[in-house]
Amino acid sequence: MHNDIYEQLREQVDQYSVGFPTTESGVEMKILRKLFTEEEARMYLNLSLMLETPQAVAARIKQDPDRVAGILETMEAKGTLFRVKKDQVKYAVAPFVVGFYEFQLNSLDRELASLVDQYMEEALGRGMSSKTVPMRAIPVNRAIEVSWPVAPYEDVREIIKSKNKIAVAKCICRVQKGLLDDGCDKPLETCFMFGSHADYYVDHEMGRWIDREEALRILDQCDEAGLVPQPYNAQNPGGLCNCCGDCCGILRSLKKHPRPAEMTVSNYFAAVDEDLCAGCETCLDRCQMAAITMGEDDVAHVDLNRCIGCGLCVTTCTTEAMSLQPKPESVRREPPLTGRDTMMQMANERGKSLVPLVYTRGS
């Protein structure tokens, strides 16, 4: 199998993020064949997560610089590579999630949407429930009390306020589900990109520039719509999505797990004041993890194994019976400092390496 270029490509993509596991149906290979030519697959195998100029790539793999530059330009136009344009144009590979699947935002068709949906159900969802996930849930606006210190990376509004370059894009998951006539009624333009990620999305006409004030208004709309804020799992995230449990691949996968609270970097939990609970059941509809049930006493009860600490139940509780509480210091988890640290941590947990396989195998 190692002689098949697409199997080699699958193995390489499987090194990154939540992986790219095999299935009995082979749906993962159909996805790769749809997105990569054989020539592009070979080029992906010779790249890494480190940004490089076309000239550096050409010198390393001993190929014509103009030919290499042309292939890289074609690949990034198709959304199968990440590109940064500053003093020089540089390219790097992207994982499947979060990565070149999301980069299909403008080109996603019903066929690819169906293949990804099938793949999520057959295999990919398992990787979404690993110890470290590519995104993490944090509290929505107004859900956190000011009576205890809140780290900036836990405060969705502070994340936005700290960014100088912000773009907003449609949610790839809700676009995908919409193509399959299985979407929801939640807002579409809810995903934020920052810095070089924002540049990439705007350059490829997948997003538009916004200022902090508009970003904060969108956050308020997301809270009202019952969406969970999920920044990339790093203290300095390159993006932040607002997700629903119906369409989001990560939340859908977490929801299937018996203990979602263990599978996400969440440092808060919902609590109920039984004396104040009016039994209105609004929180049941708001919860994306089915963590809240009504007892025989007509009082809401929170399953702490399922609660991911998003606070959606708090912001619409008219009696203020629901509150968000910090977990004990002994179980609090700090996200990795950077996105690359996250990728390294995920690779280590999965027994993988971020080094391209063509080099570790000596070929």
- The verdict on 207 and 291 lying in the same domain is no
Is there a domain that residue 342 lies in? Answer: no
Give yes or no for a contact between 46 and 145, defined as CB atoms under 8 angstroms apart: no
29 with 107, same domain: the answer is: yes
pLDDT at residue number 145: 66
Predicted pLDDT of residue 178: 97
Regarding whether 155 and 198 lie in a shared domain, the answer is yes
- The answer as to whether 337 is a domain residue is no
> Residue 20 in contact with residue 57, Cβ under 8 Å?
no
Q: What would the DSSP string read from start to end of 178-224? A: HHTT---SS-SEEEEEEHHHHHHHHHTTSEEEE-HHHHHHHHHHHHH
pLDDT at 1: 41
Residue 331 belongs to a domain? no
Give, for 313, the enclosing helix (H) or strand (E).
none
φ, ψ for residue 256, nearest 5 deg: -75, -20
Residue 341 lies in a domain: no
Boundary (domain end) residue, out of 87, 102, 125 = 125
Measured in degrees and rounded to the nearest 5, phi and psi for residue 192 equal -100, 140
- Helix (H) or strand (E) holding 275, with range, is none
For residue 340, is it within any domain? no
* pLDDT one digit per residue (tens) for the chain, 363 residues: 445 999 999 999 999 999 999 999 999 999 999 999 999 999 999 999 999 999 999 999 999 999 999 999 999 999 999 999 988 999 999 999 999 999 999 999 999 999 999 999 999 877 665 577 788 899 997 777 655 667 888 999 999 999 999 999 999 999 999 999 999 999 999 999 999 999 999 999 999 999 999 999 999 999 999 999 999 999 999 999 999 999 999 899 889 888 988 888 788 999 999 999 999 999 999 999 999 999 989 999 999 999 999 999 999 999 999 999 999 988 888 899 999 999 999 999 989 999 999 987 754
Q: How many domains does the chain have?
A: 3
Q: Which of 203, 231, 255 is the last residue of a domain?
A: 255
Nearest CA among 241, 239, 231, 242 for reference residue 194: 239
The residue segments making up the domain with residue 163 are 132-255
Picking from 75, 92, 125, the residue at the C-terminal end of a domain is 125
Closest CA to 268 of 190, 327, 351: 327
